[in-house]
Structure 1
Amino acid sequence: MGRTLAIGDIHGGLKALKQLLHDIVKITAEDTIIFLGDYVDGWSESAQVVSYLIELGKEFDCIFMRGNHDDLTHQYLKNGTMTDRWVMHGGQSSIDGYAKLSSEEIEQHLRFFSEMQNYYVDDQNRLFVHAGFTNLHGPESEYYDTGFYWDRTLWEMALALDTSIEETSDLYPKRLQIFKEIFIGHTPVTRIGETFPVNKANIWNVDTGAAFKGSISALEVNTKEVWQSDPVYTLYPNENGRN
């Protein structure tokens, strides 16, 4: 049987992504690859990452979550929407990259962005989502989609959770009782001094800071084996990424 791989934030680091998938993980046709979002905005190959993922999805079993940066770039491509904050936080790399693509290529990318999933639940009741959700009844009860790729409260709650509280207690967070496990990105674990995916409660955070000084990570969700690229910044020595 193949592996089920959760891939953390990429942020335009195509060299690191290819290294991770083909040289280190050595993906096969039997694997299921679940990308947790944020493919763009950071290193200089943001648009090329999307082109690569489109082709990868034709050959391998891939599932693509929508990240907040993916949504921001999608809005830019679709409507011309842009803010100074987005440009400063990696958006310029996407603007520059898409300026080099043909209109046909951009149309293909627009379809890819629109077809991304906000969340995915597998047959073992494991949730895959870029950021989180807020509704105590689960993501299908959310009123707004934006939380799936912007929310940080799920991860912050897991970090602050009193581990002495039993899961059967009325005090135990309801959001953590819905799924067997939850796999997220969005908030780099480097913020808490870690470089590998971090497990808190039943949440696994696979964002290992690729946009900054970290690597892109792959987590096998059954065995919890981890593979990592080289730190992405070392593959783009003349760039600053989002630093």
Structure 2
Amino acid sequence: MERTFVIGDIHGALKAIKQVISSIKPRETDTLIFLGDYVDGWPESAQVIEFLTELEGRHNCIFLKGNHDFDCESWLGGNPDSTDWSERRGLTTIKSYEQLEDRHKPKHLHFLSRLPLYHIDKQNRLFLHAGFRNNEGPQFETPSINLLTDRSLWELALMMAKRIKTNPSLLPGS
């Protein structure tokens, strides 16, 4: 039986992502979908990217781009879009690269640069880091950066949550 696991923001937490992967014990037929934000926060962002590139060689993984990954990609490519990132939010990421050999940086830049902004699977389920506002769907969103930063889907889900009937048998641990 095919299973799909969706994993959200890792934010440089190498130990945590290793524990998650170990806990789910992915099978050959499983798909792991990562929703972005692999960097910034915990101190092992570069090591997380290294781990994910290795994981991709062993499992069916779909990696999506998050807003923090966008900033890190710019920095690795020598074009930091935001001094705010390199002087504040990205400091732990930059420090993590000081612990990694420079030869890994081009591989990490390639990894981040090829990440799609969203994924629609065979069951027509949409996966993305943040949200979109275009009624035609994410492929029509302009500017596309909204797919990394827009929180309107989350806000709508929170607003509707009180009206949604839950099925406890679908919840983890049931």
TM-score scaled to structure 1, two decimals?
0.64
Residue 64 (str. 1) matches residue 11 (str. 2) = no
Q: 1:224 to 1:128 in 2, by over 3 A?
A: farther
2: CA distance, partners of 1:140 / 1:95: 32
Which stretches in structure 2 are left out of the alignment for 5+ residues?
none
Percent identical across equivalent pairs? Answer: 45
1: CA distance, partners of 2:72 / 2:85: 13
> Residue 3 of structure 2 contacts residue 29 of structure 2 at CA under 8 Å; is this kept in 1?
yes
**Equivalent in the alignment of 1:121:** 120
CA apart distance, 1:103:
3.1
**Equivalent in the alignment of 1:156:** 155
1: CA distance, partners of 2:126 / 2:2: 19
The Cα offsets for residues 163-203 of structure 1, whole Å up to 9 and x where unpaired, read as 77xxxxxxxxxxxxxxxxxxxxxxxxxxxxxxxxxxx79xx
2: CA distance, partners of 1:160 / 1:144: 25
Q: 1:224 to 1:63 in 2, by over 3 A?
A: farther
Query: 2:158 is paired with a residue of what secondary structure?
Result: helix
1: CA distance, partners of 2:161 / 2:123: 26
Q: For residues 181-220 of structure 1, what are the structure 2 equivalents within 5 Å?
A: none
Query: 2:134 is paired with a residue of what secondary structure?
Result: coil
2: CA distance, partners of 1:118 / 1:87: 25
CA apart distance, 1:162:
8.8
Amino acid at match of 1:225: P
Residue 141 (str. 1) matches residue 133 (str. 2) = no
2: CA distance, partners of 1:141 / 1:120: 14
Query: 2:42 is paired with a residue of what secondary structure?
Result: coil
Query: 2:28 is paired with a residue of what secondary structure?
Result: coil
CA apart distance, 1:159:
1.9
Q: 1:61 to 1:162 in 2, by over 3 A?
A: closer
Matched residues, number: 168
1: CA distance, partners of 2:113 / 2:161: 39
2: CA distance, partners of 1:37 / 1:112: 12
1: CA distance, partners of 2:31 / 2:138: 22
The Cα offsets for residues 91-139 of structure 1, whole Å up to 9 and x where unpaired, read as 1111101123333210000000011110000111100000011101101
Amino acid at match of 1:11: H
**Equivalent in the alignment of 1:11:** 11
Q: For residues 70-149 of structure 1, what are the structure 2 equivalents within 5 Å?
A: 70-81=69-80, 82-84=82-84, 87-89=87-89, 91-149=90-148
CA RMSD for the aligned pairs?
A: 2.0
Query: 1:79 is paired with a residue of what secondary structure?
Result: coil
**Equivalent in the alignment of 1:25:** 24
More displaced stretch, 1-10 vs 80-89: 80-89
Which structure: greater strand fraction?
1
Query: 1:116 is paired with a residue of what secondary structure?
Result: coil
Bigger relative CO (Cα 8 Å, ≥ 6 apart) = 1
